[in-house]
């Protein structure tokens, strides 16, 4: 069993999530609910839950302010939020799970299933999240899940990404390459399109590190670190338009 609490200022939101946890997530033991950040702070310190479902926007004390006051953050954090594209992207950059309201049952179950995979590093992930929220609209830091845990990098240091079955090899300008436990499609959806481009089903490149384009049916790109990546024929025209 995993223990959990819900912190949300909307009574209907708390009720809906409580009922879905009861009906579809029998492995969750709900310890309590809070209607604002102040109540949530006391509830976390008192109950020491495994999971905190936290609404970001709350009156008086929002979710981030509440988290800042906690001396320790040794729980798995799942954000619940209304639609806000920038905040969601920042949350994903920090490798947190989030649930859009109204909460989808399959997404709820998936988020809970990932608790073991993403558990820990809450403090470091929050630092990344806060930094990215403070520097909007830029998203600079990203948390990358690997088989050994989370690693934190500046996206400007990524030269290119390479598909490795259900994993992705990430190649940096000044750091050793690493194998991320995410697909290339996951990174394509996450990384900014004005900075990164999928040239081929196996590669995503960072525009800032392109050295030259070599013509061909699709062609190839030479990158600043000496690597060559293929350009799919169907991607060639789009790539050249971006150069212009």
pLDDT means per 10 residues, the chain with 244 residues, are 95 95 96 94 95 88 86 91 76 88 93 78 85 73 86 94 96 94 93 93 96 91 96 92 80
Contact 102, 16 (CB under 8 A): yes
Q: Is residue 154 part of a domain?
A: yes
Residue with tokens 């999971």: 51
Residues 82-103 as b/e (b if ≥16 CB within 10 A, e otherwise) read eeeeebebbbbbbbbbbbebeb
Kind and range of the H or E run holding 172: strand 167-172
Give the bridge partners for 171, in sequence order.
160
Q: Domain range spanning residue 75? A: 2-134
Is the full-model pTM beyond 0.85? no
Same-domain check for residues 152 and 62: no
Q: What CATH number is associated with residue 158?
A: 2.40.50.1020
Same-domain check for residues 156 and 67: no
Q: What CATH number is associated with residue 80?
A: 3.40.50.2300
Q: Is residue 139 part of a domain?
A: no
Q: What is the pLDDT of residue 84?
A: 67
Q: Is residue 98 part of a domain?
A: yes
Q: What is the pLDDT of residue 72?
A: 87
Last residue of a domain, one of 112, 134, 156: 134
Q: How many domains does the chain have?
A: 2
Q: What is the pLDDT of residue 172?
A: 97
Same-domain check for residues 164 and 230: yes
Q: Is residue 124 part of a domain?
A: yes
Last residue of a domain, one of 88, 115, 134: 134
């Amino acid at each position: 069993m995993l223990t959990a609490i819900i912190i949300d200022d909307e009574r209907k939101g708390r009720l809906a999530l409580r009922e879905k946890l009861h009906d579809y997530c029998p492995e969750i033991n709900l310890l309590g609910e809070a209607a604002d950040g102040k109540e949530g702070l006391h509830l976390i310190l008192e109950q020491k839950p495994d999971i905190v479902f936290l609404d970001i926007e709350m009156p008086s004390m929002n979710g981030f302010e509440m988290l800042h006051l906690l001396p320790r953050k040794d729980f798995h954090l799942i954000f619940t939020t209304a639609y806000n594209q920038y905040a969601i992207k920042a949350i994903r950059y920090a490798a947190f799970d989030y649930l859009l309201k109204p909460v989808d049952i399959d997404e709820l179950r998936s988020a809970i299933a990932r608790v073991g995979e993403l558990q820990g590093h809450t403090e470091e992930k929050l630092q990344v999240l806060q930094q990215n929220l403070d520097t909007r609209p830029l998203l600079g830091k990203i948390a990358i899940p690997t088989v050994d845990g989370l690693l934190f990098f500046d996206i400007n240091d990524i030269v290119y990404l390479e598909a490795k079955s259900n994993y992705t090899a990430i190649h940096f300008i000044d750091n050793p390459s690493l194998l991320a436990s995410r697909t290339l499609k996951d990174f394509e959806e996450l990384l900014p399109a004005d900075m990164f481009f999928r040239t081929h089903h196996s590669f995503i490149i960072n525009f800032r590190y392109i050295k030259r384009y070599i013509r061909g049916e699709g062609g190839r790109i030479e990158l600043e670190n000496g690597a060559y990546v293929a350009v799919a024929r169907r991607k060639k025209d789009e790539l050249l338009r971006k150069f212009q």
